[in-house]
Amino acid sequence: MYRIMLADDEGIVIDSFTYLLEEEFGDDVIIESGKTGRSVIELAERFRPDIAIMDIRMPGINGIDAIREIRKRNSQVVFIVASAYDKFDYAKEAINLGVMDYLNKPVEKNQFIETVKKAMEIIDRDREKRTMELETKEKLETVVPIIESGLIYNLLFQDFFKDDLVSFNKLLEIDEKYGYMIVLLFGDDQQGNQMTNAIGTSVKVQNYIRDLRDIVKGYTGGIVGPVMANKIAVFVPTEKTEFEYNERINLIETARLMVRRLNREFDIKFRAGIGTIKPLDKMVSSYNEGVDGLTMSSDSVIHADDLAIGCGYEEDYPIDTENNLIEGVRRGDLNMAINAAGQFFDWMVENYNDYDSDIKVKTLEFVIWAEHLGYSKGGKTYRFRSREDYLPYINSVKDYDELRSWFIDKISEACQNVMFRKEAQSTGIIDKAKEYIYANFKKDISLDDVSREVDISPYYFSKIFKKETGENFIEYLTNIRIEKAKELLENTDMSMKEICLEVGYSNPNYFSRSFKKNVGVTPTEYKG
């Protein structure tokens, strides 16, 4: 259906154009008309035409000015000028206003109809484009929350998703290197620092999650995670490394307004705990600060800085180096751990050279903590007396170079425990998977079948399989089948159908296509 507006001061022209349009397009068009510039402008606001066929010379406001005014309120309308007034300046102005065509009266019937059809094609393309945009937006409304939930899980449970952080940031167009967490806690009511009916309200919130996301995004500009028990984590990226006092106060006040709105909209009691700004890979720390704030205070909104949550450090203390040391051991990253350990030890000697006992205590603290990570993540058996010589050695050593060497060795050993455990675990899983694939390649096996056999999730199995073998599961399985097919083609008289079934293909045509794709020739050509 196309809405067509006719603008001409001559009734006979309007009648003539109406007749031609109805004769050609019948019920596919709705036609309305006006005879003055002002009436046409008012009609356009009410009628919202798709196509406007305009005369230049009309009483009062001329056609060019009317087009200009209509265009302000309806940028999508397609204009056609049909006028006996062919002054060049008017035609040029019409073109500048985006008029599709300029017809000189009297207009020949075929030319008129073809011009209208051309306008209709433009309308159809615009409608199709709009439909596609809406479909894309609708799909994004479904997909984006999933991606955002993935990012929140990635930030909070980095042991499993650390490598994906860059991909999530790219998908969500996050360029900032820092951020903070807001923890939304909810329940039926508040009793002290606790919220009642956590399970019931978490189910209730799920019914309102889209509206809740929109409200929270409107106040914070953040990325809203999934409902986890009766908590929702909100990640807010920022370029700042810390907030000034007034910025923090404004953030708290905004959070108060958000909490009041959520309470009112959903008839659920909400509270918000706000963590401090951290690098992206330390968001779990900001999240924990938000949770701790809600635990320590009964306020509806609490910021970690107001409660001095977390540990403060003396000026110039190399906290980033300390974090890199621990993170390096935790991840089994030997270079990262050793470099950070060396930098921290050098800082201690440079700044506290005369404080021998303090340097030794800090060195021992790091070693104990690194070994704790090594035991918990490396699978090594803990023995109570495994450190019996640590204190005697620390007390007896006189040379900082010797102490530094011992320190680096212990950090390296703890880090290697983690690293080798990960590598051994991955290698064992992949070896077992390869054995299963080779024993069952004749069957219709899938990634899920193999991951179930090695008892890990399909996602994680797919990831480590590609890392260890350089191929994804399908490529690896296909290569085994093709190699076996080549062997049978070379050394047996089996038929193509028999070979096809023997190597795990139920469809001979698909087998032939797969063989040619991987080998370059068909099975028949290969057999020669």
- What value does the mean pLDDT take over residues 389-408? 92
Phi, psi of 51 (to 5 degrees): -130, 135
Helix (H) or strand (E) holding 195: strand 194-195
pLDDT for residue 116 is more than 90: yes
pLDDT value at position 362? Answer: 95
pLDDT value at position 414? Answer: 87
pLDDT for residue 64 is more than 50: yes
The percentage of residues in the chain with a pLDDT greater than 90, rounded to a whole number, is: 48
Give pLDDT tens digits for 16-36: 999 999 999 999 999 999 999
* Domain range annotation of the chain: 2-128, 176-306, 313-470
- What value does the mean pLDDT take over residues 215-229? 93
What distance in Å separates the CA atoms of residue 317 and residue 67, rounded to the nearest whole number?
69
pLDDT value at position 181? Answer: 96
Q: Could you write out the three-class secondary structure of 83-110?
A: ECCCCHHHHHHHHHCCCCEEEECCCCHH
CATH architecture of residue range(s) 176-306:
2-Layer Sandwich (3.30)
Confidence category of residue 232, pLDDT binned at 50, 70, 90: very high
Tell me how far the alpha carbon of residue 111 is from its chain's centroid: 52
- What value does the mean pLDDT take over residues 487-503? 90
The percentage of residues in the chain with a pLDDT greater than 70, rounded to a whole number, is: 92
pLDDT for residue 289 is more than 70: yes
pLDDT value at position 92? Answer: 66
Max distance between CA atoms of the chain, in angstroms, equals 113
Confidence category of residue 162, pLDDT binned at 50, 70, 90: low
Q: According to the per-residue pLDDT averaged within each range, which of 111-120, 191-200, 373-382, 465-474 is highest?
A: 111-120
Tell me how far the alpha carbon of residue 270 is from its chain's centroid: 26
Give pLDDT tens digits for 293-338: 999 888 999 998 888 666 677 888 998 899 889 888 887 888 999 9
pTM: 0.49
pLDDT value at position 407? Answer: 95
- What value does the mean pLDDT take over residues 63-69? 89
pLDDT value at position 355? Answer: 94
Compare 58 and 113 and report the one with higher pLDDT. Answer: 113
CA distances from residue 287 to 278, 299, 314 in whole angstroms, order as listed: 10, 17, 23
Confidence category of residue 193, pLDDT binned at 50, 70, 90: confident
CA angle 257, 261, 265 (to 5 degrees): 175
- What value does the mean pLDDT take over residues 248-269? 94
Kindly report the average pLDDT of the chain as a whole number.
87
Buried b (16+ CB within 10 A) or exposed e, 461-472: bbbbbeebeeee
pLDDT value at position 59? Answer: 86
pLDDT value at position 160? Answer: 46
- What value does the mean pLDDT take over residues 187-194? 89
Range 2-128 classified under CATH 3.40.50.2300: yes
What distance in Å separates the CA atoms of residue 261 and residue 253, rounded to the nearest whole number?
13
Give pLDDT tens digits for 333-370: 889 999 999 999 999 999 999 999 999 999 999 999 98
Least reliable range by pLDDT among 40-54, 81-95, 271-285: 81-95
Confidence category of residue 98, pLDDT binned at 50, 70, 90: confident
pLDDT value at position 379? Answer: 59
| Residue 457, SS3 per DSSP | coil
pLDDT value at position 427? Answer: 64
pLDDT for residue 73 is more than 90: no
**Dihedral, 480, 484, 490, 494 alpha carbons, nearest 10:** -150
DSSP state of 310: S
- What value does the mean pLDDT take over residues 377-406? 86
pLDDT for residue 164 is more than 80: no
- What value does the mean pLDDT take over residues 221-226? 92
